[in-house]
Structure 1
Amino acid sequence: MRRLWGYISIITATIFFGISATLDKIMLSSMHPVTIGAYTYIIAGIFLFLIRETPLREHVLNAINRKGESEARIKRNDYLILLLTALLSTVIAPLLFLTGLGDTTAVNASLILNVEVLFIILLGYLIFRETLQLKDFLGIVLIILGAVYLLTEGDFSTILRNVAVTGNFLVMAAAFFWSLDTVLSKFLSRKRDLIFISGVKSSVGGFVLLIIMLILGINTELPLEMLPYALGVSVFSIGCSFILIYIAIREIGASMVGALFPLSSLFGAIFAFIILREPFSIMQGISGIVMLTGVFILYWNGK
């Protein structure tokens, strides 16, 4: 029964995370990328700290952690890593993603984010000297093939002139910084109070983006009609997804979670197709399936 809850948790998390590109795309119609990033991460931080101050805290932490496998104390060096990962995952990556999303479709952006897995594998090999099996190279090749088509939209002759292609590459750059955050966050993953760590990361990113917004004189307005979308991204795509992913890791293991989470890109493309009426071509679908297959190969009985 507990394994069933693990699968339900990760599938729910992929749905919550998958819809974020569509909600962000809607907000981009009337808000600056920096403004979106600032408000969504500040709200996510507030949400996580509120959870931490309620009776839910111990229930969530007990669901996430196993006895004897977590560290209660957060050391000085941990705070340095926490600050670095906050800048990577809640400042640099969101700015690149939201800027790129403005120049491409939510369908493409959702599918391209699969390349994050490739970066995680390669960075793990370079930083932690993790071994690569023969099957891993097949998975890497499949991810690259799918990504190349999506990045160029199948037209290599107009790469430098195509605005959508530029947006695709910005989304890929965002995936790199998110992967770097994932790899470095391994140093923090054994801490017990992961709600606090995630809340700090979200809050730091949100306030840094807010400062950038004020310095550059960017419009700080959050239109009332955009508030539901901002809350959706903050509470569900960021806050709830974090909690659900760690519960799933506990119940079904990191490898299975890694294999299933890329389904969020498929859900993302489906949401963009249904809600935004964006085109979803056969070749985009094939490229997405190729990348998902590569991800599945990398994580199945692997990392």
Structure 2
Amino acid sequence: MDRFWGYLSAIIVAILFGVWFTLDKILLGYLHPLALAAMVYTLASIFLFLIRLSPLHPHILEIIHRESKVEIHISRRNYITLFLTAIFGAVIAPALYLNGLNQITAVNAALLTNVEILFIILLGIFFLKEKVKPKDIVGFAFLLLGAIFLSTNNLQDLSFDQNLVGSLLVVGSCFFWSMDTTLTKFLSNKRDIFFITGLKTGIGGLILFIISFFMGLSFKLPLDMVPLLLFIGLVCMSFSIVLIYLAIREIGSTRTGSIFSTSSLFGALIAFIVLGEPLKATQLLFGVLMFVGILILYKDGNVKNGTKRDYET
């Protein structure tokens, strides 16, 4: 699998998450955010393990690994890393995001997810020892400015009310998803990708189910909403979690993260079309400003030190 498939995988993930962001808003009218996250991640885990046990599994692995060097052995350290990615990306992040989404519009939530790429870059600077150029400061400023204006309704709402709390929860989820993306880099070269992704989503789903059970949350959902839940769990979540690993392996975590941030645009547009939520010109303006920040940060590659090998084939 060459770079083209890495970029394509990242774009498909962005689209799938954009759809997921919007459809979750519908299901939140019937389920608590934690109960919804538990069901989605558990469904994804079951589906991924079914693929692994199916006769098609060896053929699928042959296709997705045909041009890549992969490792068969999974060490104890790998399992620790996998557990951390499950806690960060399949428990804390979705719990924060869905609770935030429950308090603000899907459009604003989708646009706010742009801030994830800022966290990914900061993690690269402090943990992967990437260097910062003067132009990077401008990119950071654009991302922060866009996030602040979207969080505070164009600075009209600076009080600590429900709308601002919801926005901050979404921003917090972006931080934990960025931790997940950064750590996933160390697992993306493993051959048994369906086992790894199935275990990750399974750990997340189990923990969320336990928390939901002790909170006494309901898992009842109208029958006409079940197909929507199945689509989110079996299509949006299952395929995206596998494709994220493939994208990170081929083009690196930071480039995958930058492309993934376009899910906010897909999410906002789908929320506007499907849910009829308003898409104001100012929201588009600051959304575009954040995208400009991303372009500034990644112009000319921005390949430095520890992350250079992310981009090698």
TM normalised by structure 2 equals 0.88
Deviations 1:73-132 (A, max 9, x none): 111121122112111111111111111101000001111011111001101211222222
Letter in 2 for 1:295: I
| CA distance, structure 2, for counterparts of residue 145 and residue 255 of structure 1 | 21
The equivalent residue for 1:159 is: 159
| CA distance, structure 2, for counterparts of residue 65 and residue 134 of structure 1 | 39
Kindly indicate whether the alpha-carbon contact (under 8 Å) linking 1:63 and 1:247 is maintained by their aligned counterparts in 2: no
Is 1:122 the counterpart of 2:149 in the alignment? no
The equivalent residue for 1:211 is: 210
Letter in 2 for 1:89: G
The equivalent residue for 1:299 is: 298
The equivalent residue for 1:33 is: 33
The equivalent residue for 1:137 is: 137
Change (3 A) 1:93 1:258: closer
CA drift of 1:257 comes to 4.2
| CA distance, structure 1, for counterparts of residue 255 and residue 59 of structure 2 | 23
CA drift of 1:227 comes to 1.4
| CA distance, structure 2, for counterparts of residue 297 and residue 197 of structure 1 | 34
Kindly indicate whether the alpha-carbon contact (under 8 Å) linking 2:25 and 2:102 is maintained by their aligned counterparts in 1: yes
| CA distance, structure 1, for counterparts of residue 72 and residue 20 of structure 2 | 32
Letter in 2 for 1:225: D
Gaps of 5+ in 2: 304-313
| CA distance, structure 2, for counterparts of residue 267 and residue 78 of structure 1 | 33
| CA distance, structure 2, for counterparts of residue 244 and residue 81 of structure 1 | 18
Higher mean C-alpha displacement, 245-254 vs 291-300: 245-254
Change (3 A) 1:183 1:10: closer
Is 1:244 the counterpart of 2:256 in the alignment? no
Is 1:148 the counterpart of 2:134 in the alignment? no
Deviations 1:115-167 (A, max 9, x none): 11100110121122222233322221111111110111113553213x11110
Change (3 A) 1:205 1:251: closer
Map 1:132-281 → 2, pairs under 5 A:
132-155=132-155, 158-161=158-161, 163-248=162-247, 257-281=256-280
CA RMSD of superposed structures (Å): 2.4
CA drift of 1:59 comes to 3.9
Map 1:12-161 → 2, pairs under 5 A:
12-65=12-65, 69-155=69-155, 158-161=158-161
Residue 220 of structure 2: SS of its match in structure 1? coil
| CA distance, structure 2, for counterparts of residue 116 and residue 235 of structure 1 | 24
Residue 74 of structure 1: SS of its match in structure 2? coil
| CA distance, structure 2, for counterparts of residue 132 and residue 62 of structure 1 | 39
Higher mean C-alpha displacement, 256-265 vs 280-289: 256-265
Higher mean C-alpha displacement, 276-285 vs 48-57: 48-57
Letter in 1 for 2:228: Y
Letter in 2 for 1:242: I
Letter in 1 for 2:79: Y
Kindly indicate whether the alpha-carbon contact (under 8 Å) linking 1:90 and 1:201 is maintained by their aligned counterparts in 2: yes
TM normalised by structure 1 equals 0.90
Letter in 2 for 1:119: F
Letter in 2 for 1:266: L
| CA distance, structure 2, for counterparts of residue 187 and residue 180 of structure 1 | 12
The equivalent residue for 2:310 is: none
The equivalent residue for 2:311 is: none
Kindly indicate whether the alpha-carbon contact (under 8 Å) linking 2:189 and 2:249 is maintained by their aligned counterparts in 1: no
| CA distance, structure 1, for counterparts of residue 251 and residue 80 of structure 2 | 31
| CA distance, structure 2, for counterparts of residue 204 and residue 250 of structure 1 | 22
Letter in 2 for 1:74: I
| CA distance, structure 2, for counterparts of residue 259 and residue 63 of structure 1 | 26
Letter in 2 for 1:216: M
Kindly indicate whether the alpha-carbon contact (under 8 Å) linking 2:142 and 2:290 is maintained by their aligned counterparts in 1: yes
Gaps of 5+ in 1: none
Letter in 1 for 2:267: G
